[in-house]
């Protein structure tokens, strides 16, 4: 996964909150889902959202909130 460009030199956002979401799902029947499919879904749905929020934290003003959907 490639890192997003540095954000530390950007101005703080003026909005009091931000939202982040990502998602995909496995198309296989439940009994046939592989570990590789779970890793892909987890990587996009969880890691992608966490690292997106992590990069945005320096831009949030004090008291701001992040909504994960």
Taking only the tens place, the pLDDT of each residue in 4-14 is: 555 555 555 55
- Strand, helix or coil at 26? coil
Using a cut of 0.85, tell me whether the model's pTM lies above it. no
Mean pLDDT of 23-38: 90
**Residue owning tokens 């890691």:** 47
Q: Cβ(49)–Cβ(29) under 8 Å?
A: no
Q: Cβ(57)–Cβ(13) under 8 Å?
A: no
């Amino acid at each position: 996964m490639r890192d997003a460009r540095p954000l530390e030199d950007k101005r703080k956002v003026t909005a009091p909150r931000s939202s982040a979401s990502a998602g995909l799902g496995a198309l296989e029947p439940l009994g046939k889902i592989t570990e590789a499919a779970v890793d892909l879904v987890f990587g996009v749905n969880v890691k992608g959202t966490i690292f997106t929020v992590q990069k945005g934290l320096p831009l949030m003003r004090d008291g701001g909130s992040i909504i994960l959907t």
